[in-house]
A and B are shown apart, each in its own frame.
Chain A
């Protein structure tokens, strides 16, 4: 599998979000600014009248302001974590598990690997860019992050990639995740201020949006890749 093919595959064709469903960016979390819409999600009665516009409790507003996390931060942390853990996974797999024949222990080992790396990265981020890392909603070992990273790690280890290929795959997957999270963030920004059906506001619309995006991304399939790269 050529380098370009790996990049395309992990960034677009096997996108970690749209094709592997590893985590859902911007689902009530970074990438979008919580608006009254989110709180209105609880009560189906969003005032239609323009005069009686509801104002938030100050706490809610502060939260809203604080939660404005740039998507690039998410994408960057994702990419770093994924690349590192992909390589780490390859090392562990090739030098520890395979020689000792402990392949059955692959899952727990990988879980610890990813979790450890995630914690380490978070600690590091706290040092370097506290402004970003100290926000609870962007703590690196988020469920989503773990999920994405771990899934990727398992994919690469099963695909028997070399270390560089694993690194590349990790980076590409991170890029793909960033692309999708940026798109979904922008779309959510639009939906947040629209009068959508109350029962669908928030997570359901996030899922459906992701589903429609997944259909759009079906255009990039393996056949496309093969023809484009002659691979």
Chain B
């Protein structure tokens, strides 16, 4: 069984090895798409990422809560049942910038990712798949963000 102690002991050493082997992502390799992350809607984000107009489909699944107890942490998962997925993305319609995360799918991972996003208010969220044939597919759902606590 993997323990936390192992994690601690290894992490420092591993960082050194990977850095010397040039395996860390570096600014030079940076593929961070600023235009996509600054887009204010799904269409602009997709344009910046070189994607076509999206089609809604049941083959992309988006998992998330109907109600978020707090918008600071909203669990979302995206997956695609079709072969030939190049990229999966998570987007939040009413956030200041729509695009939240992009996952590049390789043959070695399943097109199925989960993370947690921030939401400023109740909104539609999207899971978007870019396919190797150029098609762009998406699924959506509404997540209600509630106010909680004493609010003081």
A binds B: no
Partner-B contacts on A (CB < 8 A): none
